[in-house]
Structure 1
Amino acid sequence: GGGGGGGAAFAVPGVDTDRLVVIAEVRESLPDIVGSIRATIVREHEIAVADLVLSAPGRLQKTSSGKMMRAVAKRHYLEGGFDVDREESRV
Structure 2
Amino acid sequence: MNLDALTARLHAIRDANDWRRFHSPKNLSMAASVEMAELVEIFQWLGEDESHHLSPQQLEHAGQEIGDVVLYLLLLCAELGLDMDQVVRAKLADTERRYGK
Q: Where on the TM-score scale, by shorter chain, does this alignment land: which range?
A: under 0.3
Q: 1 or 2, which has the higher helix percentage?
A: 2
Q: 1 or 2, which has the higher strand percentage?
A: 1
The one of the two structures with greater contact order (alpha-carbon pairs below 8 A, sep at least 6) is 2
Considering only CA atoms, is the larger Rg found in Structure 1 or Structure 2?
2
With the length of structure 2 as denominator, give the TM-score of the two structures. 0.26
With the length of structure 1 as denominator, give the TM-score of the two structures. 0.28
